[in-house]
Structure 1
Amino acid sequence: MYAKSLGDDGAELRPLTPWHAEEFLTHVDRGREYVGRYVGLPDAVTDLASSRAYLRSYAERAAAGTGRIDGIWVDDVLVGGVLFRTMDLSLGLAEAGCWLEPSATGRGLVTRAARVIIDWAVHERGVHRVEWRAATGNTASTAVAERLGFTREGVLRQSYPHRGERHDIEVWSVLAPEWRG
Structure 2
Amino acid sequence: MYAIPLADNAELRPLEPWRAAEFLAHIDRARPNLDPWIPWASRSTDLDSARATLQSYADKQAADTGRICGVWLDGTLVGGAMFVNFDVRVGVCEIGVWSERAGEGRGLIGAAVRHLIDYALVERGMHRVEWWCSPLNLRSRAVAQRMGMTLDGTLREWMPHNGVRHDKEVWSLLAPEWPGTAKPNAENPGAAKIG
What TM-score does the superposition give when structure 2 sets the normalisation length? 0.90
Q: Distance in 2 between matches of 1:172 and 1:36?
A: 21
**Partner residue in 2 for 1:3:** 3
Q: Distance in 2 between matches of 1:102 and 1:137?
A: 18
Q: Distance in 1 between matches of 2:20 and 2:88?
A: 28
State the AA in 2 paired with 1:98. Answer: V
Determine if the alignment matches structure 1 residue 81 to structure 2 residue 80: yes
User: 1:1-181 residue pairs with structure 2 within 5 A?
Assistant: 1-8=1-8, 10-180=9-179
Runs of 4+ deviating beyond 6 Å: none
Q: Report which of the two structures shows the higher radius of gyration computed on alpha carbons.
A: 2
State the AA in 1 paired with 2:58. Answer: A
Q: Distance in 2 between matches of 1:150 and 1:73?
A: 26
Q: Displacement, 1:126?
A: 1.4
3-state SS of paired residue (2:178): helix
Q: Displacement, 1:125?
A: 1.5
Task: Give the gaps of 5 or more residues in structure 2.
Answer: 181-195
Structure number with higher helix proportion:
1
Q: Distance in 2 between matches of 1:62 and 1:125?
A: 14
Q: Displacement, 1:83?
A: 0.4
State the AA in 1 paired with 2:5. Answer: S
Q: Displacement, 1:160?
A: 1.5
What TM-score does the superposition give when structure 1 sets the normalisation length? 0.96
Seq. identity, %: 53
Q: Distance in 2 between matches of 1:7 and 1:36?
A: 27
Q: Displacement, 1:103?
A: 2.0
Q: Displacement, 1:180?
A: 2.7
Deviation sequence 1:8-51 (CA, Å, 0-9, x none): 2x110000001110000000000112211111132121110111
Q: Distance in 2 between matches of 1:41 and 1:71?
A: 15
Q: Displacement, 1:139?
A: 0.5
Q: Distance in 2 between matches of 1:101 and 1:164?
A: 23
3-state SS of paired residue (2:98): strand
Root-mean-square deviation (Å): 1.0
Deviation sequence 1:64-110 (CA, Å, 0-9, x none): 11001000000110000000101110100101100101222111111
Q: Is the 8 A contact 2:71 2:79 kept in 1?
A: yes
Q: Is the 8 A contact 2:94 2:129 kept in 1?
A: yes
